[in-house]
Amino acid sequence: MNGGHNRLRLVRAGIDTYQEPVVYMHRDCDVCRAEGFTALTRVLVHSGGRELVATLNVVTDDRFGLDVAALSEAAWNALQPAPEAWAVFSHPEPPASAPALRAKVFGHRLGEADFLGLMRDTVDNRLSDIELAAFVTACAGGRLDHDETIGLTRAMIAVGQRITWGGGPVLDKHCVGGLPGNRTTPIVVAIVAAAGHRIPKTSSRAITSPAGTADTMEVMAPVTLDLATMRRVVEREGGCVVWGGNVRLSPADDVLIRVGRPLDFDSDGQLVASVLSKKAAAGSSHVLIDIPVGPTAKVRSEDAADLLEARLLATAHALDLTLSVLRTDGRQPVGFGIGPALEARDVLSVLRGDAGAPPDLRERALDVAAALLDIAPGAAPGQGKATARSLLDSGAALRKFLAICEAQGGFSEPSMSAHSQPVLAARSGVVQGIDNRRLANIAKLAGAPRSASAGIDCRLRLGGAIQAGEPLFHVHARSPGELEYALEYAAEHPDIFAIAATP
């Protein structure tokens, strides 16, 4: 057709397959016939000096033509073909890391070189989603030991870029999550940066929760910054809160999170590798980890927290990071809002010192900022809390936060959703327990984090009294369909708030 061997012209399919690169070829095209490609074959695409492994979908009608290969958005963005570009198609080599994957599934320990091969193939898209799902599964349920965790962490760091900040300490914090609404990060970053420290915070989007810090921050300022812009923000303001996925710190972790998200498995080893690979890649030297502990939080018991803490400390030691752990109350949500915009509203009201600001979010943010200030080099231990409170109450933290938002591209006030409805208490009494997971499910069903304004507004706390017919919480959604869907789930689970009648 064009004189070449296994060549087709590239066009944009106009189909969004999320992060998975897909190539669409006609069933009868020369390439399919010569190479024996059929649906779901993995194909190697070479074009203009770039290459990409993509999944083949076979086109059976005349939509695209016989001499054309159409690329999904992910494939198009990865290859960035010139206008009228051609590509050469072939069978990719089997992934070099397949034997390591198989070994892990069969319960063998992996070494650092094995993990390096797996993470290299992960970022190069040499492993299919099915293979990645197998890897995530094989690492779940305590199947990574200490040394493997260190190996996986080092491998994740090695396949991404690593920021260097010149001399001086670089502070960072991370919350293990699982606690709806617990959005201390923007407040902590503002306080710590206002104290004169460097705190270049990269955050993730939601994995299995209704909002990640990046989702919440994005309601108030752009978070999709490239590395150079992030560096300028931190050099100017001392701190930032940006989406880690865009600066490609630990890009392998981002892929594992994408595949792991629908599975909703937690794994200590993968969790530690995820958190610490990002911290090391961000150039951090002093890290505080907040572990909320509670029956429906991510970490459910002090025993589980002990195991996780030991894993974190051993891995940090191997990476030469100073790390401290703060355990916090994980029995109930923190702040009123659950969902990006509702949480952003709470963050701003704490920073602004509003009389109606959620007191638990304020106290939690002060505790975390204090613990981080206390491990910074040159700190007078125990002084962190007073410093943090003074920076918050003086308005210095608010000014710093707004300056960071401006540096990231401009501050926006969060806007609220169009559709809202209360869920009412069926009985009167006192709140004895809160099922955080189911509460988070309602926020997710309402559309969070996809719809920034969706979620839950909940002011009821453990020990609080309520009368039958009063609202337990309000559900917010962008569309009536999502609102209805979330309310149905709430109706099916009337026990999210355990309410005992008062005597």
Q: Which residues are catalytic?
A: 266
Write the burial class of residue 2 (CB in 10 Å: 0-12 exposed, 13-18 middle, 19+ buried): exposed
Residue 86, C-beta contacts closer than 8 angstroms, at least 6 positions apart: 2, 4, 7, 8, 9, 10, 47
Query: For residue 42, what are its two tokens?
Result: 């993995």
Radius of gyration of the chain (CA): 24
Tally of CA atoms within 13 A in the half-sphere of 445 that contains its CB: 17
Distance of alpha carbon 470 from alpha carbon 143, whole angstroms: 46
Residue from 447, 473, 497, 499 that binds a second copy (CB under 8 A)? 447
CB of 369 to a second copy, least distance (A): 35
CB of 182 to a second copy, least distance (A): 23
Binding-site string for a second copy from residue 250 to residue 289, where x marks contact by CB under 8 A and - marks none: ---------x--xxxx------------------------
Binding residues among 465-494 for a second copy as defined by CB under 8 A:
478-482, 485
Residue 91 CB: number of other CB atoms within 10 A?
Answer: 12
Tally of CA atoms within 13 A in the half-sphere of 483 that contains its CB: 15
Binding of a second copy at residue 302 (CB under 8 A)?
Answer: no
Residue from 142, 359, 395, 422 that binds a second copy (CB under 8 A)? 142
232: amino acid identity, one letter: R
Which residue blocks in 110-243 are alpha helix, DSSP H? 112-123, 129-139, 146-158, 185-194, 213-220, 227-237
Residue with tokens 């996925």: 245
Asked if 192 and 392 touch (Cβ cutoff 8 Å), the reply is no
Binding of a second copy at residue 451 (CB under 8 A)?
Answer: yes
Binding residues among 80-109 for a second copy as defined by CB under 8 A:
90-91, 98, 102, 105-107
CB of 228 to a second copy, least distance (A): 29
How many residues make contact with a second copy (CB under 8 A)?
59
Nearest CB to a second copy, comparing residues 170 and 448: 448
Nearest CB to a second copy, comparing residues 94 and 377: 94
Query: For residue 291, what are its two tokens?
Result: 């572990």
33: amino acid identity, one letter: R
Residue from 38, 77, 80, 415 that binds a second copy (CB under 8 A)? 38
SS3 assignment, position 290: strand
Nearest CB to a second copy, comparing residues 259 and 499: 259
CB of 330 to a second copy, least distance (A): 20
Residue from 44, 51, 58, 327 that binds a second copy (CB under 8 A)? 58
CB of 197 to a second copy, least distance (A): 38
Nearest CB to a second copy, comparing residues 20 and 51: 20
Binding of a second copy at residue 304 (CB under 8 A)?
Answer: no
Residue from 59, 144, 276, 334 that binds a second copy (CB under 8 A)? 59
Residue 481, C-beta contacts closer than 8 angstroms, at least 6 positions apart: none
Residue 50, C-beta contacts closer than 8 angstroms, at least 6 positions apart: 78, 79, 80
Residue from 66, 88, 134, 304 that binds a second copy (CB under 8 A)? 134
SS3 assignment, position 446: coil
Q: Which residues bind a second copy (CB under 8 A)?
A: 6, 12, 14-18, 20, 24, 27, 33-36, 38-40, 57-61, 63, 72-73, 90-91, 98, 102, 105-107, 128-131, 133-134, 136-138, 140-142, 259, 262-265, 445, 447, 450-451, 478-482, 485
